[in-house]
Chains A and B, each alone.
Chain A
Amino acid sequence: MITEFTDIWVYLRTGPLLWLTATLAAYVAAQWVYERAGLNPLLNPVALSVILLAVLLTVTGTEYQTYFEGAQFVHFLLGPATIALAVPLYSHFGKVRAVIIPMLVALLAGAVTAVATAVGVAALLGASYETLASLAPKSVTTPIAMGISERIGGLPSLTAVLVILTGILGAMLATPVLNLLGITDWKARGFAAGVAAHGIGTARAFHVSEVAGTFAGIAMGLNGLVTAFLVPLLIDWIR
């Protein structure tokens, strides 16, 4: 019985099926908790899924590389999902065009704030250059951030983690912070979530309002572009 079980485990752990299934199962469970809690931003489904899977990998002594062989199929869909943002963007194009100037000014202010405060605070607290360079592009979506990090001497895989942590944190904080500021406009709320917390902020914004989600998606795309130009300029300053 025990050996049979071990045989099955040995078979499963070499293929992608096990960890692909585990990723989906963890997310389904996390989503269930999140919905049950009335979409409470503190119970962010990405955070819950990551914690669940990290514990599972640690307990079973599984390497991240082995896990990723299965999970890469989910990771791959980030590309098509980015392109799919064209659909809500097109549907709400009228709303977007009306506020294009406020959006672009806010984008620039937000992008500079994101990079400068993150690098500034970490530098003051004595983080290494490698960490600072990995941290600088943390507010933009994973593939863009990893590219920027590599170019300025950061660790792309550390950047990926910091990007996800930023996204989770931004998605948790956006609702309470914006309520505290008394900002009710869905366009501004969504846009701020997208600039600060890229795709995870966008996912959260879509949960509360389609208009907010659309503006968050635009913010994510535009911030990727602006930050790609901005970070190399700002990082020279501290090097």
Chain B
Amino acid sequence: MLGALTALLLCQLIGEAVVRLFDLPVPGPVLGLVLLLGFLALRKGIPGELAPTANGLLKHLSLLFVPAGVGVLQHLQRIQAEWLALAAALLVSSVATIIVTAVVMRAMMRLLKLDDDGEETP
């Protein structure tokens, strides 16, 4: 667990450093993700303790968004003043994005004759 956490932090550290060094538009953690992926590909496997640590973090990914979400308290005034525009924008945009992305992806998959793996209906 400790080794795996160190590896994750190390990837992030290198990612942040490279992004700043070369002034890249990519966020540091995303570069760190690519770095770890490259490492796993070279190693041709996931080291034993990395999987449970990574899965543990991802299992509670929701928790990590809570502190930023509570920041809603700082913006109550603006949200009250522009609530209709904000609510309509978020709602329309979320529904439209889900539909467009899923429909385009399925259409492209059909076009390229790729299979559907959704035997189990959700």
CB distance from A68 to the nearest CB of B (A): 6
Neighbour of A114 across the interface among B26, B97, B122, CB < 8 A: B97
Would A203 and B102 be within 8 Å (CB), given that A83-B36, A90-B37 are in contact? no
A-B pair count, CB < 8 Å, reads 340
| Nearest CB of B to A166, in Å | 6
Alpha-carbon distance A108/B101, docked complex (angstroms): 8
Verify B101–A161 contact, CB threshold 8 A.
Answer: no
**B96 contacts A by Cβ under 8 Å:** yes
Q: Contact string, A61-96, partner B, CB cutoff 8 A, digits 1/0?
A: 000100110011011011111111111111101010
Contacts of A38 in B (CB 8 A): none
Chain A 114-126 interface 0/1 with B at a Cβ cutoff of 8 Å (1 = within): 1001110110011
Chain A residues with CB under 8 A of B61: 81, 199-200, 202-203, 206
Which residues of B from 102 to 116 have beta carbons under 8 Å from A?
Answer: 102-106, 108-109, 111-112, 114, 116
Given A54-B73, A139-B93, A142-B65, A87-B50 contact (CB < 8 Å): yes
Query: Are A187 and B37 closer than 8 Å at their CB atoms?
Result: no
Contact status B71-A157, CB under 8 Å: yes
Using Cβ atoms and an 8 Å threshold, which residues of chain B touch A133? Answer: none
- Asked whether A49 and B69 contact (CB < 8 A) given A81-B61, A118-B93, A125-B88, the answer is yes
Considering the complex, which residues of chain A in the window 147-186 have a beta carbon less than 8 Å from any beta carbon of chain B?
A: 147, 155, 157-158, 160-170, 173-175, 177-179, 181, 183-186
Known: A49-B63, A147-B27. 14 other contacts (CB 8 A): A49-B66, A79-B32, A82-B32, A83-B8, A87-B50, A103-B105, A113-B96, A121-B92, A122-B89, A161-B69, A164-B68, A192-B101, A206-B59, A225-B30
